[in-house]
Amino acid sequence: MTLYALDDIEDAIDATRAFLWPFQRGRWLRLAVVVFFAGGAGGFNPFQFTGSGTPSTSDGPTSPPSTAPDLPSLGGPEIAIIATIAVVLLLLFLGFLFVGSVMEFVFVRSLREEEVTLRGYWRDHWRQGARLFGFRLVLTLLTLGLVVGVLAAVFAPLVLGGNVAALGLLVVAIPVLILVALVGGLLNGFTTMFVVPVMLLEERGVIASWRRFWSTLRGQWKQYLAYLFMSIVLNLAGGILTGLVLLVAALVVGIPLALLGLGGGALLSVSHLAGWTVIGVAVAAFVVAMFVLALLVAVPVQTFLRYYALLVLGDTNETFDAIPERRRALREPEPEG
């Protein structure tokens, strides 16, 4: 049996090369914008934090009794500020999720047409993007709800004093949480890679497109299982390659900017304002340069991964072939001249 997940790797490389080379600055910059919202150049969680504390202990009866510090009370203005910040962060998250949902269609349309037009494709597909946004939002809320429900079931006995019961529930909860994360990730990933093209081609909603795609997924499950395995390998390889390129770029960009920063440090003995200004410019230039470089490096990686998925989708069901012209160019022999 032919495994498209293996055969399509070389075709995806060739398609990426044909789409991105020769280098066109405007195309790469527009794709960098699309990748920032839809594909990404790597990620981190800026909201992670850890905290620890140690309770005070008393060595004997002569030690002074410990008193809990007075915690500042929150009044109306403080609560209003916290609520405002929370609302702003929530709106930013929702806005980014909405723009990213529309950009999924812009990405596929760009590969289909082999032309990148942000405003035109946005105007054509923002309604489908809104449907995808709603689906992703519901999926996120359901996943979070399940996670919170499982954690509450685990820690409720602990709070009520049933430590043994809590330990037993924790053993059961870990595989449940892993399963929830895997199912949520698979639904989101397959929706992005395979259902979005169906939505674009047939102008359907998310659920209707899933119904259309489901028969193909069920009938060709071995092909998609192979794709799932290979996509993990290819994403890992792409991440390593991106990291190596950015490491070299960081050295190339960082050395002259580090020298500039050292010059700013030397200026501190003469003028604090001038010294810190030079240091700030050097740091800001490095951050901006690395951010832009990360997006530009991500463009070929994400383009390859998206072409790869589209090729597999079209091979399993030619009705869903979003890139028929590129496929023919890749696979039909050139006429002898």
Residue 61 belongs to some domain of the structure: no
Token pair of 99, please?
A: 């723009």
Res 44 pLDDT > 90:
no
The pLDDT tens digits of the residues spanning 297-314 come to 999 999 999 999 999 999
> What are the contacts of 11-16 at 24+ separation with CB within 8 A?
11/307, 11/311, 11/327, 11/330, 11/331, 12/304, 12/305, 12/307, 12/308, 12/311, 13/304, 14/330, 15/307, 15/311, 15/323, 15/326, 15/330, 16/300, 16/303, 16/304, 16/307
pTM: 0.84
Residue 60 belongs to some domain of the structure: no
Mean residue pLDDT of the chain comes to 87
Count of domains forming the chain? 1
The pLDDT tens digits of the residues spanning 87-107 come to 999 999 999 999 999 999 999
pLDDT band at 41 (very low <50, low <70, confident <90, very high): very low
Per-residue confidence (pLDDT) for residue 334, from 0 to 100: 61
Res 238 pLDDT > 80:
yes
Residue 53 belongs to some domain of the structure: no
- Rounded to 5 degrees, what angle do the CA atoms 111, 116, 119 make? 125
Three-state DSSP at 69 gives coil
With a CB cutoff of 8 Å and minimum separation 6, the contacts of 96 are 37
pLDDT band at 151 (very low <50, low <70, confident <90, very high): confident
**Could you list the residue range(s) of the whole structural domain that residue 115 is in?**
4-41+78-331
Q: Which of 43-47, 52-56, 115-119, 182-186 is least confident?
A: 43-47
Res 2 pLDDT > 60:
yes
Per-residue confidence (pLDDT) for residue 270, from 0 to 100: 87
Per-residue confidence (pLDDT) for residue 171, from 0 to 100: 78
Q: Which of 62-66, 73-77, 118-122, 260-264 is least confident?
A: 62-66
Mean pLDDT for the stretch of residues 177-196: 94
Res 60 pLDDT > 70:
no
Residue 152 belongs to some domain of the structure: yes
Residue 57 belongs to some domain of the structure: no
pLDDT band at 48 (very low <50, low <70, confident <90, very high): very low
Residue 50 belongs to some domain of the structure: no
Per-residue confidence (pLDDT) for residue 77, from 0 to 100: 80
